């Protein structure tokens, strides 16, 4: 069997088909066993309806030699997603929208005599700013049986949403540990008592967890129970109402009001924006990653130029505010994500190959690293060569801001600790970064002590 094509390491669970790459293009093989379901997806009009509503990724059928001809029925060429992101990188609002999109797809599928056979959060990606189902093979003919993906939906969506909404933003990262969804039993134990008083949460989470515990090892003769269509619809509605009612209380965090508390004067801030805009216009990058993007003010300088931009920040509230703005303004080119650059997303899953690390998803054409350097170098004790080394792996061009020690923000970082950073100087910064990047432009931000640099990666691997 296969040839020059490469099966994606994440595509092995579902016998209905698999994704593969050939000559740098992404394809999906539909297997013969899935034939009747695939045909119904198209003939029922469900595919057309969902793609028109922007809920399902579109594809075209192509005439290509299949990588596994014995099992093949069709080869599809899906629309490529600009940047693959994962549920543990999403803020609350993104996960909630992904959950609601999944339920909306399920309701639409019912009308066409179909149902989702899985409800994995990994099957959702953000395309043009909206959650989209990217697994075309997720549908099956509707049978009047309990929804097979019910537990998966609860574990992938409801549990992490509840934990973040009622306990702490940081619990969203549990999805990174439990990639098959946050266990119901753990969620039930962690949730506050008041969640037991809400019927939808009491049933979908607490009783669900209890039922799993009680029946986990019970083996009783099978008798398939039918379920009425109205009950299936009611179940979906009940989940939808439970998800819809979840709200994230916005608390003030270290970073969420960063721009309000910065030491830039309004004029200095505008000058900095103008310099970044000039750099972007000079580079004309195809993709931009804004590292330490906060609420995305500078990311938007790129995304509003039509450049697909990913805005990373460690602060879940800043990312939430950024995402809300994206939704309010229907922004298509900006994807805010939660990312701790000092511990970026690792490769996860089977053989560490199912879910990609951050580095595997790069390099970006250009990286913005504005007001970031001092946090990495001083708050995290990262030497300049290590920072330059990391940035050299993630971008071809770099816009970076140097903030000298005399700057009040750096002084704030040093206020409670010993200054062990003798090498934190402009000269050393330029020397160390010059080993990885060629410095193309140096522009001081007038009215401040800060300096913006435009650099080009020296490595051919990143170009």
d(CA 208, CA 151): 9
Closest separation in Å from C-beta 202 to other proteins: 10
Give the count of alpha carbons within 13 A of 427, CB side only.
Answer: 2
d(CA 77, CA 216): 41
Eight-class DSSP state of 355 = B
Q: Which residues in the 109-148 window bind other proteins by CB under 8 A?
A: 117-118, 140, 143, 145-148
Q: Does 224 bind other proteins (CB under 8 A)?
A: yes
Q: Does 247 bind other proteins (CB under 8 A)?
A: no
Residue pair 290/303 in contact by the 8 Å Cβ criterion: no
When the beta carbons of 165 and 242 are compared against other proteins, the nearer one is 242
d(CA 297, CA 402): 18
Q: Does 2 bind other proteins (CB under 8 A)?
A: no
Q: Which of 1, 177, 197, 230 binds other proteins (CB under 8 A)?
A: 230
Q: Does 435 bind other proteins (CB under 8 A)?
A: no
Closest separation in Å from C-beta 5 to other proteins: 22
Q: Does 197 bind other proteins (CB under 8 A)?
A: no
When the beta carbons of 138 and 294 are compared against other proteins, the nearer one is 138
d(CA 338, CA 295): 11
Residue pair 100/38 in contact by the 8 Å Cβ criterion: no
- As beta bridge partners, residue 19 has 28
Closest separation in Å from C-beta 50 to other proteins: 19
d(CA 39, CA 120): 23
Q: Does 193 bind other proteins (CB under 8 A)?
A: no
When the beta carbons of 215 and 350 are compared against other proteins, the nearer one is 215
Coil, helix or strand at residue 279: helix
Closest separation in Å from C-beta 229 to other proteins: 9
Handedness of CA 137, 139, 141, 145 (dihedral sign): positive
Q: Does 223 bind other proteins (CB under 8 A)?
A: yes
When the beta carbons of 138 and 448 are compared against other proteins, the nearer one is 138
d(CA 247, CA 104): 19
Q: Which residues in the 142-181 window bind other proteins by CB under 8 A?
A: 143, 145-152, 154
Torsion of CA 443, 445, 450, 452, to 10 degrees: -40
When the beta carbons of 14 and 428 are compared against other proteins, the nearer one is 14
Q: Does 221 bind other proteins (CB under 8 A)?
A: yes
Token pair of 446, please? 């007038």
As a three-state string, the secondary structure of 121-182 is HHHEEEECCEEEECCHHHEEECCCCCCCCHHHHHHHHHHHHHHHHHCCHHHHHHHHHCCCCC
When the beta carbons of 29 and 256 are compared against other proteins, the nearer one is 29
| Element holding 109 (H helix, E strand) | helix 92-111
d(CA 134, CA 153): 16
Q: Which of 232, 248, 368, 378 binds other proteins (CB under 8 A)?
A: 232
Q: Which of 189, 213, 245, 417 binds other proteins (CB under 8 A)?
A: 213
When the beta carbons of 80 and 213 are compared against other proteins, the nearer one is 213
**Total residues binding other proteins (CB under 8 A):** 46
| Element holding 288 (H helix, E strand) | strand 288-291
When the beta carbons of 151 and 353 are compared against other proteins, the nearer one is 151
Q: Does 426 bind other proteins (CB under 8 A)?
A: no
Q: Which of 15, 65, 113, 444 binds other proteins (CB under 8 A)?
A: 15
Q: Which of 1, 177, 197, 214 binds other proteins (CB under 8 A)?
A: 214
- Token pair 């909306």 is found at 104
Q: Which of 14, 277, 407, 430 binds other proteins (CB under 8 A)?
A: 14
Q: Which of 74, 96, 130, 204 binds other proteins (CB under 8 A)?
A: 204
Q: Does 233 bind other proteins (CB under 8 A)?
A: yes
Closest CA to 198 of 166, 233, 170: 166
Chain contacts with other proteins (rule: CB under 8 A): 13-16, 117-118, 140, 143, 145-152, 154, 203-204, 207-208, 210-216, 218-225, 227-228, 230-235, 237-238
């Amino acid at each position: 069997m296969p040839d020059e094509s490469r099966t994606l390491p994440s595509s092995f669970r579902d016998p209905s088909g698999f994704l593969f790459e050939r000559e740098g293009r992404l394809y999906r093989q539909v297997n013969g066993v899935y034939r009747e379901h695939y045909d119904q997806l198209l003939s029922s009009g469900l595919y057309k309806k969902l793609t028109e509503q922007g809920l399902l990724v579109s594809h075209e059928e192509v005439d290509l030699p299949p990588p596994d001809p014995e099992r093949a029925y069709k080869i599809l060429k899906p629309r490529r997603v600009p940047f693959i992101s994962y549920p543990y990188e999403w803020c609350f609002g993104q996960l909630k929208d992904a959950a609601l999109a999944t339920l909306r797809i399920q309701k639409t599928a019912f009308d066409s005599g179909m149902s989702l056979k899985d409800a994995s959060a990994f099957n959702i990606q953000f395309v043009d700013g909206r959650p989209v189902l990217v697994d075309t093979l997720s549908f099956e003919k509707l049978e009047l049986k309990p929804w097979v993906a019910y537990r998966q939906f609860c574990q992938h969506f409801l549990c992490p949403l509840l934990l973040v909404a009622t306990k702490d933003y940081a619990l969203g990262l549990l999805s990174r540990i439990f990639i098959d969804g946050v266990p119901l039993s753990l969620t039930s134990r962690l949730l506050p008592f008041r969640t037991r008083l809400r019927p939808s949460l009491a049933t979908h989470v607490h009783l669900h967890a209890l039922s799993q515990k009680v029946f986990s090892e019970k083996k009783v003769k099978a008798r398939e129970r039918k379920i009425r269509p109205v009950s299936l619809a009611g179940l979906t509605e009940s989940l939808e109402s439970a998800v819809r009612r979840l709200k994230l209380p916005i608390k003030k965090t270290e970073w969420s009001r960063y721009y309000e508390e910065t030491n830039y004067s309004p004029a200095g801030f505008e000058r900095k924006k103008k310099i970044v805009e000039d750099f972007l216009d000079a580079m004309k990058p195809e993709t931009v990653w804004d590292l330490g993007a906060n609420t995305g003010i500078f990311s938007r300088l790129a995304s509003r130029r039509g450049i697909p931009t990913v805005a990373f920040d460690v602060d879940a509230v800043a990312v939430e505010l950024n995402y809300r703005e994206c939704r309010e303004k229907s922004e298509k080119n900006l994807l805010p994500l939660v990312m701790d650059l000092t511990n970026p997303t690792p490769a996860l899953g089977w053989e560490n190959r199912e879910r990609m690390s951050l580095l595997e998803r790069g390099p970006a054409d250009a990286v913005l690293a504005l007001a970031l350097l001092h946090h990495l170098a001083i708050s995290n004790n990262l030497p300049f060569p290590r920072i330059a080394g990391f940035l050299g792996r993630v971008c071809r061009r770099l816009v970076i801001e140097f903030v000298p020690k005399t700057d009040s923000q750096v002084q704030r970082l040093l206020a409670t600790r010993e200054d062990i950073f003798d090498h934190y100087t402009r000269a050393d910064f330029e020397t160390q970064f010059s080993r990885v990047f060629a410095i193309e432009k140096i522009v001081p931000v007038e009215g401040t002590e800060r300096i913006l640099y435009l650099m080009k990666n020296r490595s051919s691997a990143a170009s």
